Amino acid sequence: MAEANTTATVEQPHGSEHEVEPAALGLTPGMWVAAAMLVFLLVLVWKKVPAAITGGLDKQIDAIRNQLAEAKALRAEAEKLRAEYAAKIANAEKDAAAMLAHARSEADQIVAKAAADTQDVIARREKMASDKIAAAERAAVDDLRAKAASAAAAAAAQLIAQNHGAAADKALVDGAIAGLVN
């Protein structure tokens, strides 16, 4: 079967060819497309599709607004927490500085007390050493005196034994007795 060609060529006066568009029921293909679009749009309006689309968009807009409000509330809460923690950090830094100053003060007091205690210990030890030296000197002097007295007594006894006889002793004893009686 042979197909009918609906395209015809018509010669133009200037020698160029022009194609003829097919038509059905007096409408060209562009008119058919426009009519189909019009029918499609009418069906969309009849089925209330634009209202459904705007309703969906409104729901999304409301959801976004709710999310924005929630985000603002969260941001305000976060700012409040940040300020609270900044204050806590500042207080902690002040407390740490106060503790450090107190520790330094205590350390200075401990060093001063240790220095004073050291001076006291040194003074006591010096006094003890002085006392020991003085006691040793007294003991040495007493020992020297005892030895000197012993040596003097021994020398005196020897001199008396050499220089005095029985007659001289009798005269001394008689003189001592006469001195006692009188």
Q: What is the pLDDT of residues 29-58, one digit of tens each?
A: 888 889 899 998 888 778 887 777 888 888
Residue 11 inside a domain? The answer is no
Average pLDDT of the segment spanning 168-182: 80
Residue 12 inside a domain? The answer is no
Average pLDDT of the segment spanning 114-141: 92
What is the model's pLDDT at position 107?
A: 95
Which pTM does this prediction carry?
A: 0.36
| Residue 28 backbone phi and psi in degrees, to 5 | -85, 165
Mean pLDDT for all residues in the chain: 84
Cα within 13 Å of Cα(32), Cβ side: 9
Residue 10 inside a domain? The answer is no
For 84-96, write each residue's pLDDT tens digit: 999 999 999 999 9
CA 127 to chain centre: 49
Structural domain of residue 38, as residue ranges? Answer: 24-173
Least Cα distance to 155 among 144, 147, 167, 165 occurs for: 147
Q: Using the 8-state DSSP alphabet, how is residue 68 labeled? A: H
Question: Structural domain tally of the chain?
Answer: 1
Average pLDDT of the segment spanning 154-171: 76
